[in-house]
Amino acid sequence: GAGVSQTPSNKVTEKGKYVELRCDPISGHTALYWYRQSLGQGPEFLIYFQGTGAADDSGLPNDRFFAVRPEGSVSTLKIQRTERGDSAVYLCASSPGTSQGYEQYFGPGTRLTVT
Amino acid sequence: GIQVEQSPPDLILQEGANSTLRCNFSDSVNNLQWFHQNPWGQLINLFYIPSGTKQNGRLSATTVATERYSLLYISSSQTTDSGVYFCAVERATGFQKLVFGTGTRLLVSP
């Protein structure tokens, strides 16, 4: 079946602009995660959804970052007033369960460049 | 939070050689996954292995949960094995998120 998909694959924006990044999880997966990967480092957790609600947003760096999952499927990560330090690859993952111990599957990522 | 350390940080092999990558973690885990990140940045699932041993072709993995480490074995390496290998764990007590190690960068030369 189809894997996790993310759009756009690349996004270049000017400092101060607003951006939205989209994630389509694997069909039927109830858990959805966002991670961020900076150059030369491993991915770092941002936020986790169980269904429609954000169960853990402890990884969001500040209040410029926000994510939604209104119908429990597609999710959008929103970044306001972008800064050059926001440049990174944003990865989305999904898993079939909402308790611990389920395998996570990652999308190809969105490479965000803030100029 | 939980600490995840991978070794070695860099590895250069000749095609056909074998290698062992190690992942140490500092707390009990419910989930441990090994990933290969290819040159295009895609994270490819290799193993879901919170405990025990699994094999998939030339790759195998072992996790000894009581001693808090996991090993990834690559046999008869090929140039397509090049990339970064990540270990990621989900702490047993706490929230449902993966914590990644810093990775092992592997280069297999022909």
Residue A42 has its nearest CB partner, among B95, B96, B103, at: B103
Distance CA A52, CA B4 (A): 30
pLDDT of residue B44: 96
How many angstroms away from the CA of A70 is the closest CA of chain B? 20
| Structural domain of A89 | 5-99
**Residue in chain A lying closest to B41 (CA):** A108
B47 shares contact with chain A (CB less than 8 Å): no
- Tell whether A37 is covered by a domain: yes
Q: What is the domain count for chain A?
A: 1
Match 């808090």 to its residue by tokens.
B68
The structure tokens listed for B49 are 């292995």
- Provide the residue-wise pLDDT of chain B in tens; the chain has 110 residues: 899 999 999 999 999 999 999 999 999 998 999 999 998 889 999 999 999 999 999 999 999 999 999 999 999 999 999 999 999 999 887 668 999 999 999 999 99
Q: Is residue A36 part of a domain?
A: yes
Amino acid at B85: Y
Q: How many domains does chain B have?
A: 1
Comparing C-alpha atoms, which of B28, B25, B44, B47 is closest to residue B36? B44
Give tens-digit pLDDT for A53-72: 888 999 999 999 999 999 99
State which residues form the domain around B67.
Answer: 4-105
Judge whether A108 and A23 are in contact, CB under 8 Å: no
- Interface check B100 vs A, CB under 8 A: yes
**Is residue B64 in some structural domain?**
yes
Which two three-digit tokens encode residue B12?
């250069």
* Residue A5 clears pLDDT 80, i.e. is over it: yes
- Name residues whose C-beta falls within 8 Å of residue A70's C-beta, 6 or more positions apart in sequence: A52
Cβ atoms of residues A84 and A15 within 8 Å: yes
In the three-class reduction of DSSP (H, G, I as helix; E, B as strand; rest coil), residue B92 is classed as coil
Residue B92 at interface with chain A, using a CB cutoff of 8 Å: yes
CATH number of the domain that residue A19 is part of: 2.60.40.10
Give the Cα-Cα-Cα angle B109, A37, B25 (nearest 5 degrees): 80
**In whole angstroms, what is the distance from residue B107 CA to residue B11 CA?**
6
Residue A112 maps to a domain: no
Query: Are B109 and B11 in contact, with CB atoms under 8 Å apart?
Result: no
- Is there a contact between B98 and A98 if contact means CB atoms under 8 Å apart? no
Query: Shortest CB distance from A42 goes to which of B45, B50, B100?
Result: B100
Residue A89, domain member (yes or no): yes
Residue A106 covered by a domain? no
Query: What is the domain-level CATH number for residue B73?
Result: 2.60.40.10
At B66 the three-state DSSP class reads helix
